[in-house]
């Protein structure tokens, strides 16, 4: 591998492949280096990919891509030890105008990578990039176990722990207070049983977010695939250190919740995996360019944890990085000044606009964990009190419900929380 490329992309996830595909289509010579034995082999997520942003790269992709189910219902579960309160939104419009698809990354990523390959990008798997190559302080390529490769621009799309961005001095380790460790199981069940348990038609799916109950759990998630269920939890690394609990202990507790256990009963464990999510938002986004290098996707910490979006930010940042390289190639200028247009394009796109809108949310929830503990408990207790039928007068019942709520959270605390939520989301 002594050849020089217009661009070397490190990582064949959504960010890297979107970048490689865009540059290859424009006629640039592109090499993608991926450490897994194939794209997706080492990747895990919830999860869903979104129609809108994926379709920009691959029109009507669901007709050929290995998607599992299209999501017709979004569920929000508030758990307490013995109960749950479920808010859900199911809409027939999601059957006519697809919004999101559950996928297995091990199947979807190779399909996505083939698009880039067919457009002319070269993808070499089983190749870990160890370092960036520098000349006169500028990045001019990468060093891998298979040798050095030169390029006008390196795109670091090597995921949440991006060694490349750290080596280029563009970012630090993900700080503990905004790093969420996710553990996930894929549980096999017959297709029909999944459809009965979740009240789904063929090809229809649900995406669920769950909070409360398991101390230390940041949030849980559940997605229905064709004949498997993806289920997992996220734990904040700082809170995990403090709680002295192990993630799999919290996960087991979560799976045994009386409302969750029946949904996965008799299922066969197919896969167990763990992965970090950088949930810091706008204030933690890394520097994204330097002489000869751009950073895209999770490597730059581009994750919208509030809306559970990551792949679409990864794909969009990959495309914007690629367009920046294409423009730089025309100028034959790969300096940081020339590549800085990328940061500006991210700022002008939904990627950084959305993260900026929510810039205070991650810190707020991190400093106020009672949203994930006290409130789910309180909501469940109030729902229980409301539904019990006995001789108690309703006026007394309502008084008791108010007293219970204020015992858990003072009036001032409730007003403060409501005010902060209003400020952050309006």
3-state SS of the chain is CCCEEEEEEECCCHHHHHHHHHHHHCCCCEEEECCCCCCCCCCCCCCEEEHHHHHHHCCCHHHCCCEEEEEEEEEEEEEECCEEEEEEEECCHHHHCCCEEEECHHHHHHHHHHHHHHCCCEEECCCCEEEEEEECCEEEEEEECCEEEEEEEEEECCCCCCHHHHHCCCCCCCCHHHEEEEEEEEEECCHHHHHHHCCCCCCEEEEEEEEECCCCCCEEEEEECCCEEEEEEEEEHHHHHHHCCCHHHHHHHHHCCCCCHHHHCCCEEEEEEEEEEECCCHHHCCCCEECCEEECHHHHCCCECCCCECHHHHHHHHHHHHHHHHHHHHHCCCCHHHHCHHHHHHHHCHHHHHHHHCCCHHHHHHHCHHHHCHHHHHHHHHHHHHHCCCCCCHHHHHHHHHHHHHHHCCHHHHHHHHHHHHHHHC
Q: Pick the piece of the chain touching ligand FAD (CB under 6 A) from 14-22, 70-78, 116-124, 347-355.
A: 14-22
- The interface mask with ligand FAD, positions 242-281, x = CB under 6 A, is ---------------------------------x-x----
Tokens at 400, concatenated: 């008791």
Residue 10 sits in the site that holds ligand FAD (CB under 6 A): yes
- Which residue of 110, 220, 281, 297 would you call a contact of ligand FAD, by CB under 6 A? 297
Q: Which is nearer to ligand FAD, 263 or 313 (CB)?
A: 313
Residue 198 sits in the site that holds ligand FAD (CB under 6 A): no
Q: How many residues bind ligand FAD (CB under 6 A)?
A: 38
Q: Pick the piece of the chain touching ligand FAD (CB under 6 A) from 133-141, 307-315, 365-373, 404-412.
A: 307-315
- Which residue of 6, 73, 204, 298 would you call a contact of ligand FAD, by CB under 6 A? 298
Report residue 328: phi and psi, to 5°: -65, -35
- Which residue of 7, 36, 51, 380 would you call a contact of ligand FAD, by CB under 6 A? 36
Report residue 346: phi and psi, to 5°: -65, -40
Q: Which is nearer to ligand FAD, 109 or 377 (CB)?
A: 109
Residue 94 CB, nearest distance to ligand FAD (Å)? Answer: 15
Q: Restricting to residues 126-165, name those near ligand FAD by CB under 6 A.
A: 128-129, 157-159, 163
Q: Which is nearer to ligand FAD, 23 or 379 (CB)?
A: 23
Residue 43 sits in the site that holds ligand FAD (CB under 6 A): yes
Q: Alpha-carbon distance 120 to 6, whole Å? A: 13
Q: Which is nearer to ligand FAD, 239 or 377 (CB)?
A: 239
Residue 311 sits in the site that holds ligand FAD (CB under 6 A): yes
Q: Which is nearer to ligand FAD, 74 or 213 (CB)?
A: 74
Residue 70 sits in the site that holds ligand FAD (CB under 6 A): no
- Which residue of 5, 7, 8, 16 would you call a contact of ligand FAD, by CB under 6 A? 16
Q: Pick the piece of the chain touching ligand FAD (CB under 6 A) from 61-69, 246-254, 262-270, 305-313.
A: 305-313
- The interface mask with ligand FAD, positions 169-188, x = CB under 6 A, is -------------x-x----
Residue 12 sits in the site that holds ligand FAD (CB under 6 A): yes
- Which residue of 74, 282, 308, 375 would you call a contact of ligand FAD, by CB under 6 A? 308
Residues that bind ligand FAD (CB under 6 A): 10-16, 33-36, 42-43, 45-48, 128-129, 157-159, 163, 182, 184, 232, 275, 277, 297-299, 303, 308-312, 314
């Amino acid at each position: 591998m002594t050849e020089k490329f217009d661009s070397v992309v490190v990582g064949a996830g959504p960010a890297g492949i979107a970048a490689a595909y865009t540059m290859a289509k424009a006629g640039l010579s592109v090499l993608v280096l991926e450490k897994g034995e194939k794209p997706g082999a080492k990747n895990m997520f919830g999860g869903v990919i979104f129609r809108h942003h994926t379709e920009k790269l691959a029109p009507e992709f669901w007709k050929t891509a290995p998607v599992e189910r299209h999501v017709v219902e979004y569920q929000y579960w508030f758990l307490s030890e013995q109960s749950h309160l479920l808010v859900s939104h199911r809409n027939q419009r999601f059957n006519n105008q697809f919004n999101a698809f559950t996928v297995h990354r091990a199947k979807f990523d190779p399909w996505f990578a083939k698009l880039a390959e067919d457009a002319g990008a070269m993808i070499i798997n089983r190749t870990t990039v160890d370092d960036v190559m520098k000349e006169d302080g500028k990045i001019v390529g990468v060093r891998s176990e298979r040798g050095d490769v030169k390029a006008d621009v390196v795109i670091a799309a090597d995921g949440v722990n991006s060694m490349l961005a750290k080596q280029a001095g563009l970012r630090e380790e993900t700080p503990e207070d905004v790093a969420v460790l996710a553990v996930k199981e894929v549980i096999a069940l017959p297709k029909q049983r999944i459809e009965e348990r979740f009240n789904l038609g063929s090809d229809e799916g649900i995406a669920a977010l769950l909070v409360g109950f398991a101390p230390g759990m940041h949030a849980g998630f559940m997605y229905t695939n064709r004949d498997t269920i993806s289920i997992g939890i996220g734990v904040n690394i700082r809170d995990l250190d403090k709680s002295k609990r192990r993630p799999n202990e919290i996960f087991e507790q979560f799976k045994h919740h009386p409302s969750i256990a029946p949904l996965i009963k008799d299922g066969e464990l197919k896969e167990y995996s763990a992965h970090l999510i950088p949930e810091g938002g706008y204030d933690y986004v890394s520097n994204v360019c330097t002489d000869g290098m751009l950073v895209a996707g999770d490597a730059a910490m581009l994750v919208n944890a509030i809306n559970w979006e990551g792949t679409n930010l990864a794909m969009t940042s990959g495309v914007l990085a690629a367009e920046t390289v294409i423009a730089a190639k025309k100028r034959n200028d790969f300096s940081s000044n020339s590549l800085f247009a990328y940061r500006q394009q991210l700022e002008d796109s939904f990627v950084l606009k959305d993260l900026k809108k929510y810039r205070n949310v991650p810190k707020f929830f991190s400093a106020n964990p009672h949203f994930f503990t006290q409130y789910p408990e309180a909501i469940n207790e109030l729902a229980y009190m409301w539904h019990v039928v006995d001789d108690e007068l309703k006026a007394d019942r309502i008084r008791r419900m108010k007293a219970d709520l204020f015992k858990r959270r003072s009036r001032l605390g409730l007003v403060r929380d409501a005010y902060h939520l209003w400020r952050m989301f309006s």
